[in-house]
Amino acid sequence: MAAPKQTIKVGKVRLSVWEGNYEGKPILSFTIDKPYKDKEGNYVNGKSFSRADLGNVVLACIQATNVLYGQTNTETNSEPEIPF
């Protein structure tokens, strides 16, 4: 399995940015998970989040947007062009 292009961690939440291509054009896709250890001690990538995780999910998404579009200020009046 390929490694993500970038990983953003906020609290227990992890957002990974993946590079790929679709019909010969480069695209980016994203996964959000919450790694944890199961009863046997194995790491599992959880896909559900508690109420306490919600803010961290939002912050991870904001950070990913800022990194991808080179924005340092999240207050903008224009919407960036989405490359996928």
Average predicted confidence (pLDDT) for the chain:
84
Q: Is residue 36 part of a domain?
A: yes
User: Residues 24-76: pLDDT tens digits?
Assistant: 998 888 999 999 999 999 999 999 999 999 999 999 999 999 888 875 443 44
Q: How many domains does the chain have?
A: 1
Question: Which strand ranges, in their side-by-side order, compose the sheet holding 25-37?
Answer: 6-10, 13-22, 25-37, 43-46
- 31-61: b or e for each residue (b if 16 or more CB lie within 10 Å)? ebbbeeeeeeeeeeebeeeeeebeebbeebb
Report residue 24 as tokens.
Answer: 């010969």
Residue 80 lies in a domain: no
If you compute the radius of gyration of the chain from its CA atoms, what whole number of angstroms results?
A: 15
Q: How far apart are CA 44 and CA 37, in angstroms?
A: 6
Domain limits at 25?
6-69
76 inside domain: no
Please state, in angstroms and rounded to a whole number, the distance separating the CA atoms of residues 7 and 1: 15
pTM: 0.74
pLDDT of residue 1: 63
